[in-house]
Structure 1
Amino acid sequence: MNIILLHTHDLGRVIEPYGAGVRTPNLMALARESTLFRHCYCTAPTCSPSRAGMLTGMLPHSAGLLGLAHRGFHLKDYSKHLVRYLGDQGFETALCGIQHEAPSDKVQEWLGYEKILGPETAGGDIEGDLENARAVCRYLREPHNRPFFLSYGMASTHRVYPKNGGVDPNYVLPPFPIPDNAQTRQDTAELYQGVMAVDDCVGMVLDAIRETGREEDSIIVFTTDHGVAFPNMKCHLYDTGIGVALMLRYPGNPGKGTATDALCSHLDLFPTLCELAGLQPPPWLQGVSLCPVLEGRAGQVRDELFAEVTYHAAYEPMRCVRTRRYKYIRFFDDLDSFSPSNTDDGPSKTVFCEAGYFDRPHPRELLFDLTLDPVERVNLAEDPQLQDVLSGLRVRLQGMMEETDDPLLEAEYTDETGKKRYRRIPAPKDSIVNRQLCLSPETHDPADFE
């Protein structure tokens, strides 16, 4: 079967099928034809590492993509990318719009796409996304002698958001955990404008799929890289950062039109596509197939998942393990507060900056009970009744890091005073990484980068 991957930047679950307060009728239509995963999580709430996890089937540190591709980070082995794997299986491979696993000038050389249908778009470029949607539709209407993999990436939901052209900010509710005021409502209204543009693009592509009969021979995936570019979301390991939309549509799906609470990771997409397409999964995959859930043979296929941050604009290493009940987050640096550089600039960030958010310390470890505290605001790491839970999650996280040769294993050491300290994991020599921990809320001075 063909594989059609529809994906967008920085969306999280802010679409109508997940209950968001924005109309997305085309994505609702797709949801009714798909299995919708209510509890899918990315491997990293930052663009390139997240996509590395999804498209190599390995955790970002295993794949080697610890930071942003356009800032000099890259995979250890591009032959392990889904595109190269499918090309080796005889698929025609085509890209239209955003990818974030390789520099823009290396897409065909490193990723191996045979065809580039349209350029990468910038945040808020609605017209660019629409033009790329038209290119995708033209491609779908062409004759194809081989099964194809088509990746269509949209950027309308990435900052800078499009100017609001139809969403009244007086009647929107900023997503949790953003406070409700005039600045954040305007920010949310502009985000919604981008979300609606994504829905329009998806609608165009779905129409072309129906018109060409591709519904009968194609697997259709809709997802995003990570949470929305607001504080406490993108680049954070809270569920608001790692929680993502995932819908799977394919011919004969017995779970069509249903939602599942099965815990799943972006790591699971690669092996799932292999099974649905009748392909032998490659040996490097770290995820599990979701087909038992899709086919109703199992309610769950995993008990835990992992996510990470190493680099975004600045170095801020952290790891987490999440089960259905608990979340454990550990920080691996000497900082006591979040780096402002790693929260995208915008009105909501300004609100947080002015309120002193980036001056507030965070503990070295966080433990949350996701049933009693789904908003992850009560740290239970010091709770005497949960020390067994905490110890168990520490063991799980340590075991994952050892099994996957996480470079952070070498970060911790004890200084001459007996205090635990952390070495910095080096970035590639040609990478652009912010040296400073604190930047102004709205500007990034080029002099601040090395």
Structure 2
Amino acid sequence: MSHPIRNVIYIHTHDMGRYISPYGHQVSTPNLQAFARHGTLFRQAHCCGPTCSPSRAGLLTGVTPHESGMLGLAHRGFKFTHPEHHLAAYLRGQGFLTALCGIQHEFHSAPEQMPYEIVHEENLDTLAATDRGWTQHALDFLNQQHERPFFLSFGLFFPHRPFDPVDPELEPEAYVKPPDPLPDTPEIRKDMAEYRHAVAHSDTCIGRVLDAIRQHGLDKNSLVIITTDHGIAFPRMKCNLTAHGTGVTLMMDYPGNPASGQAVDALVSHLDVYPTVCDLLGLPAPEHLEGFSMRPLFEGSAPEIREDLFSEVSFHAASEPMRSVRTQRYNLIRLFDQDLRRPLSNIDQSPSKALLLKTGWGETPREEIQLYDLLLDPNESRNLAHDPACADILTEMNQRLENWMHDTDDPLLNGPLAQPTGAVINTRESVDPAAGPFIRT
């Protein structure tokens, strides 16, 4: 590689999905759009668990959430079984300075496991002020000279809920398109307008950091990764295994990037980020990694790096065990719960949720096995699992999923999942995740 990479800058948002302008949405993100124009955008990137901690655990350890120990949320009692597998821990062992400026969602239950030497994650009076404060910490870090190569994790709270109120002059809801799986109503348009406002806030913060990277010449020696944890916090999206939940923003750039300004359609998983970092840095990939380096996609030496990818939910606010396998053409989802109603506390409180609950939607049971044709049904709304014409496809996809579950020692193979000591989980009857009732172990 003609331009050696010295540093890794990992920029991540909370609940952003792909609803930004580089993916064609009418959500103003000029700084992310500018980054996409000179970086590489992955259009078919997916997380390995569409909830906060499991998603981040997969990206940052390079193994599935159920193998990492992060079956649920870190602030509700889940933690890593092998914290030494964390990317920051590995790079620290390779001589990197490790710094966290902003949110992390991996170490709430075990802060002693945190591998960062520099930590700035304090909260201020408001969420917006907190994000701005974390941005300033990142700027201060980038403004300094560092003798060692560094790994900087810069994380923002927004666009997680609760959203800030929006001036209708800035985001007129009458002209807002609702999220793809939701109806076009005033309540949902207003909700989406507030999401757009939160994304714009994140884009401004990220823009300041990207400006600092350029001003200090760090774009000449750094790998920059921009991503999010999972889909947006609306019903049928976050905590769901369709692309509405698992689809993520993923853009990357590095000096000498041969795919500069390109969009890549190959399937990629968050599991592929860690081996890509190692490959581009010229470091040995740890043996535990399960993903594939994306370097062939940057260099154009291969059109694909994987035939399929997998995602999972075990616990969010409540238990909701389900697994999925996705190829370019199909997505198979299997629910592993006797009660097929939606655990409503796994859906963030919102005007959109309140509207759907008025219709009785929350009492409608889901189907245990779901198969979607992504070419003919990109919205994943027509289940083909019971279509005789799809019997062979269903068998093949089921076999892929079962093989993966066995290969990764998925605890679901042994029956209902156990909660770790000290975990806090909502009951099946909960509606508001913050209000309970709770099961405390």
Question: 1:86 corresponds to which letter in structure 2?
Answer: L
Give a deviation string over 1:35-60, Cα, whole Å, max 9, x none. 10000000000000000000000010
Paired positions, count? 433
Question: 1:32 corresponds to which letter in structure 2?
Answer: R
Given candidates 32, 43, 47, the residue that maps to 2:48 is 43
Given candidates 207, 210, 215, the residue that maps to 2:211 is 207
Q: Find the counterpart in structure 2 of residue 130 from structure 1.
A: 132
Give a deviation string over 1:128-155, Cα, whole Å, max 9, x none. 1112111111110101000000001101
For 2:73 and 2:210, the matched residues in 1 are separated by 31
> Counterparts in 2 of 1:19-30, with a 5 A limit?
19-30=24-35
Pairwise CA distance, 1:78: 0.3
Q: Does residue 430 in structure 1 map to residue 399 in structure 2?
A: no
Pairwise CA distance, 1:448: 3.5
Pairwise CA distance, 1:181: 1.1
When normalised by structure 1's length, the TM-score is 0.94
> Counterparts in 2 of 1:74-89, with a 5 A limit?
74-89=79-94
When normalised by structure 2's length, the TM-score is 0.96
Give a deviation string over 1:322-350, Cα, whole Å, max 9, x none. 00000000011101221101101110010
Give a deviation string over 1:230-265, Cα, whole Å, max 9, x none. 000000001000000000010000100010101000
Give a deviation string over 1:284-330, Cα, whole Å, max 9, x none. 00100000001111110000000000000100100000000000000
Q: Does residue 162 in structure 1 map to residue 164 in structure 2?
A: yes
Q: Find the counterpart in structure 2 of residue 117 from structure 1.
A: 120
Unpaired runs of at least 5, structure 1: 412-423
Indicate conservation of the 8 Å contact 2:61/2:85, yes or no: yes
Given candidates 207, 226, 243, the residue that maps to 2:247 is 243
For 2:433 and 2:247, the matched residues in 1 are separated by 28
Q: Does residue 62 in structure 1 map to residue 67 in structure 2?
A: yes
For 2:114 and 2:397, the matched residues in 1 are separated by 36
For 2:339 and 2:278, the matched residues in 1 are separated by 41
* Structure 2 SS opposite 1:93: strand
For 2:137 and 2:165, the matched residues in 1 are separated by 24
Q: Find the counterpart in structure 1 of residue 268 from structure 2.
A: 264
Indicate conservation of the 8 Å contact 1:81/1:111, yes or no: no
For 1:3 and 1:445, the matched residues in 2 are separated by 39
> Counterparts in 2 of 1:312-331, with a 5 A limit?
312-331=316-335
For 1:83 and 1:223, the matched residues in 2 are separated by 16
Indicate conservation of the 8 Å contact 1:117/1:132, yes or no: yes
For the structure 1 residues 299 and 121, does the alpha-carbon distance in structure 2 shift closer, same or farther, using more than 3 Å as the test? farther
Given candidates 411, 431, 445, the residue that maps to 2:435 is 445
Pairwise CA distance, 1:225: 0.2
Q: Which contiguous aligned blocks of 4+ residues in structure 1 show a shift greater than 4 angstroms?
A: none
Given candidates 67, 78, 91, the residue that maps to 1:73 is 78
Aligned-residue RMSD, C-alpha: 1.3
Question: 1:314 corresponds to which letter in structure 2?
Answer: A
Give a deviation string over 1:191-219, Cα, whole Å, max 9, x none. 01110001000110011111100010100
Unpaired runs of at least 5, structure 2: 1-5
Q: Find the counterpart in structure 2 of residue 9 from structure 1.
A: 14
Indicate conservation of the 8 Å contact 1:84/1:112, yes or no: yes
For 2:424 and 2:433, the matched residues in 1 are separated by 16
Q: Find the counterpart in structure 2 of residue 18 from structure 1.
A: 23
Give a deviation string over 1:2-38, Cα, whole Å, max 9, x none. 0000001000001110011111100011001111000
* Structure 2 SS opposite 1:39: strand
Question: % of aligned pairs identical?
Answer: 47
For the structure 1 residues 118 and 61, does the alpha-carbon distance in structure 2 shift closer, same or farther, using more than 3 Å as the test? closer
* Structure 2 SS opposite 1:433: strand
Question: 2:91 corresponds to which letter in structure 1?
Answer: L
Indicate conservation of the 8 Å contact 1:99/1:120, yes or no: no
Moved more, 328-337 or 161-170: 161-170
Indicate conservation of the 8 Å contact 1:47/1:100, yes or no: yes
Pairwise CA distance, 1:111: 2.1
> Counterparts in 2 of 1:48-447, with a 5 A limit?
48-103=53-108, 106-107=110-111, 109-119=112-122, 125-165=127-167, 166-411=170-415, 424-435=416-427, 437-440=428-431, 444-447=434-437
Question: 2:174 corresponds to which letter in structure 1?
Answer: N
* Structure 1 SS opposite 2:113: helix
For 1:144 and 1:118, the matched residues in 2 are separated by 21
Pairwise CA distance, 1:220: 0.4
Pairwise CA distance, 1:121: 7.3
Question: 2:336 corresponds to which letter in structure 1?
Answer: F
Pairwise CA distance, 1:156: 1.5
Give a deviation string over 1:363-406, Cα, whole Å, max 9, x none. 11000000000001110001111111100111110100101100
Q: Find the counterpart in structure 2 of residue 421 from structure 1.
A: none
Indicate conservation of the 8 Å contact 2:426/2:436, yes or no: no
Pairwise CA distance, 1:117: 3.0
For 1:146 and 1:111, the matched residues in 2 are separated by 19
Question: 2:17 corresponds to which letter in structure 1?
Answer: G
Pairwise CA distance, 1:279: 0.6
